[in-house]
Amino acid sequence: MTNSEQIKVLLIEDEEFDARRVENTIKPFAGRIKICDMVSDGKSAMDLLELKKNFYDIVIMDFQIAGGLRGEQLVKKIKDIDPSLQIIVITKMTINITDYEFAHGLIEAGAFWYCTKYPGDIEEYIYQPTDFIMSIFNAYERRKLIKEKQRSTQKLRKNVEDILAGKKIIGISEAANKLREQIAKYSNSNVPVLISGFSGTGKELVAYNLHYNSPRKYENFVPINCGGIPDQLIESELFGYEKGAFTGADKSKPGLFEIANHGTIFLDEISELPLSAQVKLLRVLQEGEVEKIGRTDKIKVDVRVISASNRNLEEEIKEKRFREDLYYRLNVVPISVPPLHQRKDDIIYLADYFMNEFAIDMGKEIPTINEDAMKVLIDYNWPGNVRELKNLVQRLLFYDEKIVTPELIESALGKKISQLDAYFGIDGVSFKSPDQPFSLRQMEKIFREKYFKYIRNQAESDSEAAKKLGLAPPNYYRMCKELGLK
């Protein structure tokens, strides 16, 4: 404690004689310990503590005071207002001082310290002065520690909130809602989760959300791409090694499981894990212990395992590339993230979200995606899923156009994306085989829209277009309206 810090005390005492004795006892340290206020009952104390929140450091309270609110009950109420406030209780000799239960009850209620007043014939002091003063100093240090801890927890909480804000799952589709529900349901437990889905669908995003919504959120989240590390290095990455374990091991290296201890490890592209590493991983999952290379005793770890794969692991098992027993250990809870073309409702929301985020990041004006362009985005098949959409939006911003049109999208994607181009040949009769066939109704709508636009572009007027299409003008106008063409 520095000398300039003053300890602010609230004294709750209804006998003037004792209040004076308390003042006298701390007098040698009057510059450092200041009795700022004095009240004679519990209710007034509570009022004052509410009024001057964060002002007092320590409450010194007499056990026997007038009014209903006193003793343990008062201690608890004070701690409810501010858990960092420290309470010193003083009692009269009449209380049986060998009654341990009595003192224990006070401490349990939240008091910092408890002492028995000197007999009434000692007018100078309330208690042995150096002990009394030391206890006040100690109580103050304790309050500072608690405050510091509160501050750092607050900071951590803020960090986690920031991370989660940047990892929001956007979308209104049933699939997106289901993902959010699953995250809420499984983030609170430690069960292993296996996330499956095509590349770019948001598997890693789900893993982040599972960790940062879990009780492990202040601990490490350690992602590793099992497909991105050469086979011969993966085991030392995951499990670490001791100094001298092999030539070249000039210092020991902690494995990712050790780094993730108490937190979460995210094993991405788990299908790529070599078989020998699969055996070791299985043992870690079964025993909760890591075998570090070059070390005889095992290291206990407490790590939640989330894994992801864009390959069908059941196929991999059939092909003997993936261990079945490991699969069951990892796949306790399966979460599947559907491809973007199966949740088209999300496309507009994702596009808007990325547009806003990138525009702000890049300090650019937010362009408007016009109706036709939106349609193109919705119709497109998105083989690269959300990642492809995100990248496209970023590229669109570099054009510095106020309005995003279908042509701009085609240019940014570097390919013609009209569905007709994808599914019809030039002559309009041969089909390419789509991997996700449209229903007849969808196909008809796509066709009509494209064909109407094509003819209208060639015609000088609407009546000419109607004629070319072989339609009576009223029918032509009605169909244009139905197709959303003006």
Ligand X SMILES: Nc1ncnc2c1ncn2[C@@H]1O[C@H](COP(=O)(O)OP(=O)(O)OP(=O)(O)O)[C@@H](O)[C@H]1O
Q: Write out the residues near ligand X by the rule CB under 6 A.
A: 169-171, 197, 199-205, 268, 310, 350, 386-387, 390
Which listed option, Mg ion, ligand X, none, makes contact with residue 263 (CB within 5 to 8 Å by class)?
none
Q: Is 88 left (phi over 0), alpha (psi -120 to 50) or beta?
A: beta
To ligand X, the closest distance from the beta carbon of 387 in angstroms equals 4
Across 213-238, b (16+ Cβ under 10 Å) vs e yields bbebbebebbbbebeebeeeebbbbb
- The least distance separating ligand X from the CB of residue 221, rounded to whole angstroms, comes to 13
Using CB positions, name the residue nearest to Mg ion.
204
Q: Which residue number, 169 or 333, has a Cβ lying nearer to ligand X? A: 169
Residue 387 touches which member of ligand X, Mg ion, none, C-beta under 5-8 Å by kind: ligand X
164 vs 170 by CB, closer to ligand X: 170
Q: Quick one: 20 or 311, whose CB is closer to ligand X?
A: 311
Is 149 buried (19+), middle (13-18) or exposed (0-12) by CB count in 10 A? Answer: exposed
- Residues 251 to 310 in contact with Mg ion, rule: CB under 5 A: 268
Q: Quote the least distance from Cβ 180 to ligand X, whole Å.
A: 10
- At closest approach, how far in Å is the CB of 269 from Mg ion? 7
Q: Which residues are 87's β-sheet partners?
A: 59
199 binds, among Mg ion, ligand X, none (CB under 5 to 8 A by kind): ligand X
Residues 333-392 that bind Mg ion (CB under 5 A): none
The residue within the footprint of Mg ion, chosen from 204, 235, 316, 346 (CB under 5 A), is 204
Is residue 280 within 8 A of residue 291, CB to CB? The reply is yes
Written as six digits, the tokens of 141 are: 């240090």
SS3 120: coil
Which of the stretches 200-208, 273-281, 331-339, 440-448 binds Mg ion when contact is defined by CB under 5 A? 200-208
Helical (H) or strand (E) element with 196: strand 193-196
Q: State which residue, 160 or 170, has the beta carbon closest to ligand X.
A: 170
| Cβ-based nearer residue to ligand X, 197 or 406 | 197
Burial letters for 428-456: b for 16+ Cβ neighbours within 10 Å, e otherwise? eeeeeeeeeeeeeeebebbbbbbebeeeb
Alpha-carbon distance of 138 to 390, in angstroms, equals: 56
DSSP 353-368: HHHHHHHHHHT----E
Q: Give, as one character, the DSSP assignment of residue 439.
A: P
Identity of the residue, 204 or 346, whose beta carbon is nearer to Mg ion in the bound complex: 204
- The verdict on 82 binding Mg ion (CB under 5 A) reads no
Structure tokens at 356: 């806003």
Cβ proximity to ligand X, 133 vs 350, nearer residue: 350
Total length of the chain: 486
Shortest Å, Cβ 268 to Mg ion: 5
- Range 47-66, binding Mg ion (CB under 5 A): none
Rounded to a whole number of angstroms, the minimum distance from the CB of residue 382 to Mg ion is 16
Please, what is the minimum distance in Å from the beta carbon of residue 390 to ligand X? 5
Q: Smallest gap, in angstroms, from Cβ of residue 226 to Mg ion?
A: 11
Between 208 and 322, name the residue whose CB sits nearer to Mg ion: 208
Number of alpha helices (DSSP H) and beta strands (DSSP E) in the chain: 20, 16
Q: How many CB atoms neighbour CB 9 within 10 A?
A: 23
Interacting residue ranges for Mg ion, rule: CB under 5 A = 204, 268
